Amino acid sequence: MLAKRIIPCLDVKDGMTVKGIHFVNLREAGDPVELGAEYSRQGADELVYLDITASHEGRKTFTELVKKVAAHINIPFTVGGGINELSDVERLLNAGADKISVNSSALRRPELIGEIARNFGSQVCVVAIDARPEEDRWICYLNGGRIATEKNLFLWATEAEDHGAGEILFTSMGHDGVKNGYANDALAALAGKLHIPVIASGGAGTKEHFRDVFVEGKADAALAASVFHFGEITVSGLKQYLRNENINVRIVES
């Protein structure tokens, strides 16, 4: 069985790492390069850097920051925010990113997923989905959770896989930042429908939440932000806990 991955997420705004609740009420959490380097030292499997206002503000993702991250960090990292065309992908990969994440642009033009997969390989293309339950179905949102669409989470995730996505990064908007656990029922349903890895996002507050997202949510990877940024949980301590719970994780021996 493949090892479960722990992925710190760094939301970046105006050059600083920030974290909020339900995508709002942002507070600063530190320098994104220094934080990323520390998570790498602690044994994180990957990192995700998101330019959280790029799509909303209509600008390109932070190429210079990506170059700095690549120079200081020796684990794979994904970059997202404001990626609308192949030239954006090429620019970020050339700057040192290992994968790119598309969300709003893929919802607006699903063909972009296939274009990325054909030109750079499916393993490069992570499709991020921000969704929340409304009445009896999960609705996907655009522009950092600002605009509701008609897309259903499960149908859209399946369509993204069919277009060539290498992974799905699912954020439950209602769980974001509140630290009450991940949306395990929805995650397990996603995992049952897809043949590609599912990264869980939104809701990490305790080590037990990570255990539950792997056991109950069937996730392949767990992404978290504030519990790492503000020192509530260390990546190394979390991985030791998960190993003690019989969950297969990669631990870097010092």
Q: What is the mean pLDDT of residues 207-227?
A: 96
pLDDT in tens, 53-105: 654 444 555 788 899 999 999 999 999 988 999 999 999 999 999 999 999 99
Question: Band of the pLDDT at 196, cuts 50, 70, 90?
Answer: very high
What are the b/e assignments for 8-33, b being 16+ CB within 10 Å?
bbbbbbeebbbbbeebeebeebbebb
Give the C-alpha separation, 31 to 43, whole Å.
Answer: 19
pLDDT score, position 61? 58
Q: Is-catalytic flag, 136?
A: no
Q: Is-catalytic flag, 11?
A: yes
pTM, full prediction: 0.92
Average pLDDT, the chain: 90
pLDDT score, position 75? 97
pLDDT score, position 37? 94
Asked if residue 141 has pLDDT above 60, the reply is yes
Give the C-alpha separation, 24 to 143, whole Å.
Answer: 13
Among the listed residues 130, 176, 212, 220, the single catalytic one is 130
Among the listed residues 11, 88, 176, 212, the single catalytic one is 11
